[in-house]
Amino acid sequence: MGMNNEIHDEKPRENCGLLGVFGVPNAAQVIYTGLFALQHRGQEGAGITTSDGAKVSSTKGEGLLSEVFTVRPPTALPGHLGIGHVRYSTTGSSRPQNVQPIVFECLDGLWALAHNGNLTNARRMRQAYQEAGAIFQTSTDSEILMHLIADPMYRTRNRRVERALSELEGAFSFLIMTPHGVLGARDRYGFRPLSIGRLGQGYVFASETCALDQVGATHERDVLPGELVTVDEKGIRSSTFCEPISGPLGQCIFEHVYFARPDSIVFGQNVHETRIKLGRRLALEHPVAADLVMPVPDSGNEAALGFSLASSVPMDYGFIRNHYIGRTFIMPEMAQRHDSIDLKLAIVPGVVRDKRVVVVDDSIVRGSTCRRRINALRKAGAKEVHMRVSCPPVRHPCFFGIDFPSSSELIAAERNLEEIRNYIQADSLAYVSLAGLLSAFEQPGDFCTGCYSGKYPAPVMEEHHKKDLEKT
């Protein structure tokens, strides 16, 4: 069918997590603690930038949080405000200069920014600035906002940041820092989450509410699509940088299916409960005679529980995850993922031997990992292996922050259901329907389902590859 069978990772990959604070003593330590709750969103690099009102301090580097801050701990970054970032690259490869926050100096002083998402007009805007003589220090699309903020066209006018943000297209949640304040913004479609919490007399921004919980903050609300929230000595205030969209929002449904931690509230809905609903719906749509339901941990756990509850087939843990191996989708190079995938999950033979097993996972993107695991289950003595998936087949690329931009990487784009079943060597295979997926949400019309349907809520300004902005 034209698919490269040597593509080894079956999971989607998303780009990063954000954490910002204002009015909080020892801001860097709070950011560091909160970013641990977001480490699942990015393991390539991490950084923290803080300010005490006079001095801006920054530490960042490649690797996990614990690795980056071994030499220079968060206590070395003074200040009561700051922003932090954990990164997976969806635009720009994994290299030191692409780690965020990006710190830059304008005529009016130092700024820093951190980004989650993909800008769909980045290539065109970058080329325009380069032709005008601008120098870029990274190959990320995030840096576009830096040049807009520094541009005299915006710098000398009122609502400077709002005007800069209004030029951006695509998916973004941004945290922006000055020496005196922190600003949070979401794109007009709301693709990527960003929440606001209170911590004492201060404020916290976070990509997921689990990070607010981690630092002891109380969740207040989400930053609204098209909103810029500014927190500084004057307090907290809101402004908008674009006209409200006329149609539905574009909240990424994969946040609930896979990316977010189950203890988070994302887009106003509990992730754990959503995934249980998806598992229940999957069991109703695609029942199977079986002895055992087992999840692919960790993101398949809740869906498997829902499947078990709805089907009355008992659930057990036939896969045991090695937590010392990172989430394989985070590793940027395919060879790295191939080397580590078989180390990630071990099988408990006594659980699966002589059993008809239903394996529940949140998604199948490429299929090679799924195939190897099914073969391993058979070697461990499973009598039958039935695959059930709590989202529809992923057939279309994403341009808004998930790193599967090419249909050639997607097994469902080139194979029908029976061909996929045959490839992964399952006894049966079924996905929840798109209607079934949407039934788990209170506001189903406000979610982007483009990777399933090919219909995107926002226009795609440019075709995208993660290394488009790099020079060879």
Q: At what angle do helices 143-150 and 122-131 cross, to 10 degrees?
A: 50
Helix (H, G, I), strand (E, B) or coil at 303: helix
Q: Helix, strand or coil for residue 146?
A: helix
Q: How far apart are CA 296 and CA 207, in angstroms?
A: 25
Catalytic residue (choose from 16, 252, 391, 398): 16
Q: Which of 69, 11, 6 is nearest to 41 (CA)?
A: 11
Distance CA 327, CA 95 (A): 19
Alpha helix (H) ranges present in 136-270? 143-150, 152-155, 160-165, 209-215, 254
The Cα 305–Cα 333 span in angstroms is 33
Tell me how far apart the alpha carbons of residues 391 and 432 are, in angstroms, rounded to a whole number. Answer: 5
Q: Describe the strand order of the beta sheet including 16-22 as a list of residue ranges.
A: 56-62, 45-51, 81-87, 16-22, 202-206, 195-199, 218-222
Active site residue 16: yes
Q: Which residues are CB-contacts of 78 (< 8 A; sequence separation ≥ 6)? A: 28, 50, 52, 55, 57
Active site residues: 16
